[in-house]
Amino acid sequence: MLVFDQVNYHYRREHPIIQDVSFEVQEGEFVAIVGGNGSGKSTLAKLINGLLLPRKGQVRLNQLNTLQHVDLKKIREQVGLVFQNPEDQFITTTVLDEVVFGLENLRIPREEMMPRVEGALQAVRMEDYLDAMPHQLSGGEKQRVAIAAILAMRPSILVFDEATSMLDPQERKDILEVMRTLHQSGLTIIHITHHMDEILSADRVLLLSNGSIRFDGTPSALFNSVSLTDQLVPPFAVRLHQTLGLDVPLGSDWKETITNLWSMH
């Protein structure tokens, strides 16, 4: 379980970035985090694995505390971070080396490495690209290699920090599919995004505004919350529900909802 307990963070004292943020994420949950540019989302991601440390309050992961220096290594093994530009993370010349690199740092024995590498690349459907050069892949493929490199280290939480924002629509779909599969296999997923359609796959959404949590609940409840309409642009599925006055739960596939309603009448 991940716990944010009254967390505060600032770079300069007069500009607080994160203010008194408290929440818990249970093991196996899929949580989306949304909020405007500058609302503190990326800072929050970096607080999760101790890249940044709280000025006040605590971030705990399964009894480990990011403020305890001895815990940091274990926390970073458990939390995988996927960024917007996967290229920033690449340091080797083949996909295979890229995935192996993290394992070497963890001093994983040789014989254990290959099964882990293959498993990780299979999970993101990149197993046929072992010898490819990371820099020559498409944006979506690069992002999948970055995910595989992290998966091979067997984290318990994956944090995606706007990992889909530079991708084209098809690549975005592919990455979202990978996220859903990983979630089903039991991983905890934290997905920071500007794409409102992507949060419909999440169990729960946190809305961050000026460094504080303005909302914590299900995606449908978020878009039904009238007091937040000035903060949000609802995704197409929600706009469709509103335009047609649909009084049915928001499904993950609006086409199915429309087809079902049509055929029932």
Partner 1 sequence: MVYALKDVSVSMNGREVLQSLSCTLQEGKWISVIGHNGAGKSTFAKLIKGLIPSFSGEYTYNQQPLPRDSKGNMRVVPQIGYVFQNPEQQIFETTVYKELAFAQKIKKGHTGDTKAEIESVMHQMGLSSDLLDASPYQLSGGQKRRVAIASVLIADPELLILDEPTAGLDPLSRIALLEEIRAWQRTKNRTVIFISHQMEDVAEYSDEVMIFNRGRLLVQMSANDLFLQHTAFMEQAGLPLPEPVQLLKLIEELSGRIIEPVSCREEDIMQQVRSVWQARGIQHDG
Between 6 and 138, name the residue whose CB sits nearer to partner 1: 138
d(CA 20, CA 212): 7
Do residues 117 and 151 make contact, with C-beta atoms less than 8 angstroms apart? no
- Report angle CA 182, 215, 202 to the nearest 5 degrees: 20
For partner 1, which stretch binds (CB under 8 A), given 17-25, 55-63, 103-111, 231-239? 231-239
Min dist. Cβ of residue 23 to partner 1 (A): 20
For partner 1, which stretch binds (CB under 8 A), given 97-105, 107-115, 116-124, 229-237? 229-237
Do residues 35 and 209 make contact, with C-beta atoms less than 8 angstroms apart? yes
Tokens of 28: 């196996």
Residue 107: which region, alpha, beta or left (left: phi > 0; alpha: psi -120 to 50)? left
List 8, 19, 58, 84, residue binding partner 1 (CB under 8 A): 84
Min dist. Cβ of residue 262 to partner 1 (A): 5
Site for partner 1 in 144-203 (CB under 8 A): 162, 165-171, 194, 196
How distant is the alpha carbon of residue 128 from its chain centre?
25
Between 226 and 264, name the residue whose CB sits nearer to partner 1: 264
Residue-wise burial string across 148-166, b where 16 or more C-beta atoms lie within 10 A, e elsewhere: bbbbbbbbbbbbbbbbbeb
Min dist. Cβ of residue 76 to partner 1 (A): 26
Residue 87's CB is within 10 A of a number of other CB atoms, namely 15
Binding marks (x or -) toward partner 1, 93..122, rule CB under 8 A? ------------------------------
Do residues 77 and 106 make contact, with C-beta atoms less than 8 angstroms apart? yes
Site for partner 1 in 234-263 (CB under 8 A): 236, 239-240, 243-248, 254-255, 258-259, 261-263
Min dist. Cβ of residue 250 to partner 1 (A): 14
Q: Provide the Cα torsion 99, 101, 106, 108; round to 10°.
A: 70
List 37, 63, 105, 227, residue binding partner 1 (CB under 8 A): 37
How distant is the alpha carbon of residue 122 from its chain centre?
20
Between 41 and 116, name the residue whose CB sits nearer to partner 1: 41
**Interface residues with partner 1 (CB under 8 A)?**
35-39, 84, 138-139, 162, 165-171, 194, 196, 231-233, 236, 239-240, 243-248, 254-255, 258-259, 261-265
